[in-house]
C-alpha cells in the first residue's frame, strides 16, 4: 500500500516536471514576438507570433506603450495582417497567471470582437462589455481589479458608430430593464443638445456626436466614482482614454 502511494507520488512529480518543461518549451518557441517584423529577409515572411505576457513584461510597460500597442494591433486588424496564435499553447501558458496590458470597456455590439479589433490574444486584455459602454459599480470594481490588483496600465472606453444603445437612448425607449439601462446613457444625450443639425436617431452625425459625448461622460464617471483609479491616473500609473470604432472599416480612432 505504502509503495503504491510512493509510486503514485513519484509519477505525479514526473508528470508535473514534464508539464513544466512542456510549458517552457512552448514559451521559447513562441518567444519571437515582433522579431520577424524587422529581421525577416526571405521572400515569404514567417507569420508574426506572440506569447502570453509575463509579470516582468507587464511591469515594464507604460500607459503610452499600451496605447501604441493597441493602435498597431488595430492597424494590423484593418489591413488583414493579424498575428498567428497557437491558442492551445497560449491557454497552457496563461494558466500560470494573468498580466494583461489594458482594460477595455466596450459596447456588447456583436460587430466588435474586441481582442480581434486590437490583434490581441489570450491573457492580453480585460474586457468589460455592456450596451452603451457606460460604467456602474460592478464595472468600476472590475476596472479597479484590472488595474490596481492585476497591473493593467490603461483603461480604454471604446464606443462605436451606429450604436443601437445610443440610438435607443436618443429615442428614450421604454422597454423592460432596457429603460433603466438607457438611463445611464441619457446624460450624454442631454449633453449633446448643442448639436446644430437634426437631433434624432435617424441622423448618423448626431448619433456619432452622442457616442463621443457618451465616451467622455463614461471617462468622467470613472474618475469621479473611483478614487483608486483617479489616483492611479493622477500619478501616471495608468491612463484612462476614449476611442470609437468605425463599423464600416474596423478602424479605431483614439480621442486623446
Ligand atoms: Zn453599441
Angle between helix axes 227-234 and 204-225 (nearest 10 degrees) is 90
Whether 153 is in a domain gets the answer yes
252-254 and 239-245 as β-strands: parallel, antiparallel, unpaired?
antiparallel
Strand order in the sheet with 154-160: 125-129, 102-106, 154-160, 239-245, 252-254
Pick from 255, 253, 254, 250: which is nearest to 117 by CA? 250
For 55-88, write each residue's pLDDT tens digit.
998 999 999 999 999 999 999 999 998 888 888 8
Residue 77 lies in a domain: yes
158 CA distance to ligand 1 middle (Å): 10
Domain presence at residue 32: no
Q: How many domains does the chain have?
A: 1
In a domain, 46, yes or no: no
Domain at 117, CATH number: 3.40.1050.10
Annotated binding site for Zn(2+): 107, 109, 160, 163
Predicted pLDDT at 8? 42
33 Cα to the center of ligand 1, angstroms: 33
Domain membership flag for residue 230: yes
Tell me, in angstroms, the distance from the centre of ligand 1 to residue 104's CA: 14
Provide the β-strand partners of residue 99. none
- 39 lies in a domain? no
CA pair distance 33, 139, nearest whole angstrom: 31
* For helices 137-144 and 204-225, angle between their N-to-C axes, nearest 10 degrees: 60
Whether 99 shows a pLDDT value over 50: the answer reads: yes
- Structural domain span for residue 224: 52-254
Instruction: Using DSSP bridges, classify how beta strands 239-245 and 102-106 pair: parallel, antiparallel or unpaired.
Output: unpaired
33 found inside a domain: no
- Residue range 184-225, pLDDT digits in tens: 999 999 999 999 999 999 999 999 999 999 999 999 999 999
> Is residue 67, in this structure, part of any structural domain at all?
yes
Amino acid at each position: 500500500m505504502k509503495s503504491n502511494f510512493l509510486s503514485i507520488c513519484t509519477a505525479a512529480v514526473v508528470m508535473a516536471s514534464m508539464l513544466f518543461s512542456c510549458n517552457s518549451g512552448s514559451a521559447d518557441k513562441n518567444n519571437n514576438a515582433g522579431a520577424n517584423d524587422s529581421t525577416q529577409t526571405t521572400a515569404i515572411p514567417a507569420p508574426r507570433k506572440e506569447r502570453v505576457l509575463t509579470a516582468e513584461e507587464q511591469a515594464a510597460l507604460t500607459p503610452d506603450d499600451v496605447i501604441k500597442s493597441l493602435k498597431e494591433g488595430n492597424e494590423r486588424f484593418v489591413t488583414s495582417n493579424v498575428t498567428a496564435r497557437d491558442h492551445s499553447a497560449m491557454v497552457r501558458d496563461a494558466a500560470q497567471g494573468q498580466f494583461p496590458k489594458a482594460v477595455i470597456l466596450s459596447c456588447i455590439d456583436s460587430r466588435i470582437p474586441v481582442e480581434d479589433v486590437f490583434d490581441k490574444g489570450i491573457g492580453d486584455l480585460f474586457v468589460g462589455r455592456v450596451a452603451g459602454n457606460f460604467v456602474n459599480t460592478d464595472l468600476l470594481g472590475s476596472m479597479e481589479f484590472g488595474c490596481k490588483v492585476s497591473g493593467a496600465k490603461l483603461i480604454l472606453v471604446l464606443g462605436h458608430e451606429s450604436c443601437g444603445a445610443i440610438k435607443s437612448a436618443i429615442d428614450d425607449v421604454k422597454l423592460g430593464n432596457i429603460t433603466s439601462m438607457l438611463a445611464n446613457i441619457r446624460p450624454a444625450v442631454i449633453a449633446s443638445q448643442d448639436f446644430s443639425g437634426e437631433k434624432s436617431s435617424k441622423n448618423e452625425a448626431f448619433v456619432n456626436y452622442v457616442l463621443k459625448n457618451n465616451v467622455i461622460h463614461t471617462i468622467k464617471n470613472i474618475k469621479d466614482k473611483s478614487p483608486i483609479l483617479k489616483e492611479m491616473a493622477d500619478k501616471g500609473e495608468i491612463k484612462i482614454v476614449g476611442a470609437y470604432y468605425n463599423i464600416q472599416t474596423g478602424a479605431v480612432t483614439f480621442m486623446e
